Amino acid sequence: MRLFALRGAISVERNDAQDILEATTQLMREIMQRNGVEPENVVSCIFTATRDLNAEFPAKAARAVGFERVPLLCAQEIPVPQSMPRVIRVLIHYHADPDHQPEHIYLGDARELRNDLHAAQ
């Protein structure tokens, strides 16, 4: 097994706890499904949220989809002027077979963040 890291992001409609949880759940499920990632192979996850999303911790949704034994951290994204609003990002470190190819996942408006990654769409 080899250690990998992959990135993902999703836009959120409103600064509402339910919207944050639903978006994070969608992102984590898509990452797990498209990458074959199981929580038992995950070393850690770092979530960031833009300054305008503070109604809930994204990690709460990750725990609900099986990451209850994985170290999770939430932080605020650097508030760069003119950056995309209402975005949750995640960096996941996990073990997989050496020939695995990480597939980064960007959903909703967050697709614009990395439109250079065709596989992320």
Residues noted as catalytic: 7, 63, 74, 77, 89, 106, 114
CA distances from 24 to 1, 2, 59, 82, 101 (A): 27, 26, 8, 23, 22
> Token pair for residue 32?
């797990």
